[in-house]
Amino acid sequence: MHKKLATILMGVMGAAAAFAANEAPQDGALAFPKDYPYWATFLRNVQRPDVQQVRELYVSPIGTRAKSGEPFPTGTIFVMENHQALPSPTGSPNPGPIAKIFVMQKVDGKPAGVPEGLQNGSWVYGSFSADGKAIAENYQACRGCHLPLAQKDFVQRYDEYFEKRATVNQ
């Protein structure tokens, strides 16, 4: 248990140090959070048949402190694994191999290089291959998808997360 906690803390501290050295964080410049599989589940088995994906989402320890109706704290990191959807006998796809991993981190200050009208608060985005290597992505598309969610701190499925978390904690 102590090894897992140490791994988590090192990953969070490493990501924070990376941003401390870079005064103006920008999309595509995030460090890959190698320890994210040990984090809390944000949502599991999110079905996206329209794009033939199953998504697994994680939230960093600092993000689990958020309360419904409030923004996530600075330093929160979300990781979304996009898995290829595999057929199953139930008709609901199973997660297959990871196709891509997206990261969203809330930083202190205003991210650099964000086009006018696409600001998502202080969130910065990154995209990685299944092995954790940074890959190119159209971050304007990411920002456009999150833009209508200003009342939910620009976080997709915000309400669903807090509803499920409340059910588990009862």
pLDDT for residue 165: 82
pLDDT for residue 12: 45
CA–CA distances in Å: residue 25 to residues 20, 33, 58, 80, 125: 9, 16, 21, 20, 10
pLDDT for residue 168: 62
pLDDT tens figures, 67-81: 999 999 999 999 999
The string over 26-56, giving b where at least 16 C-beta atoms fall within 10 Å of a residue's C-beta and e elsewhere, is: bbebbbbbebbeebeebbeebeeeeeebbbb
In the chain, what are the domain boundaries? 2-168
Are 63 and 72 in contact by the 8 Å Cβ rule? The answer is: yes
User: CATH classification of 2-168 is 3.40.50.720, yes or no?
Assistant: no
pLDDT for residue 75: 96
Reading the chain (170 residues) residue by residue, the pLDDT tens digits are 444 444 444 444 444 444 444 466 899 999 999 999 999 999 888 787 676 788 899 999 999 999 999 999 999 999 999 999 888 888 788 888 999 999 999 999 999 999 999 999 999 999 999 999 999 999 999 999 999 999 999 999 999 999 988 776 54
pTM over 0.85: no
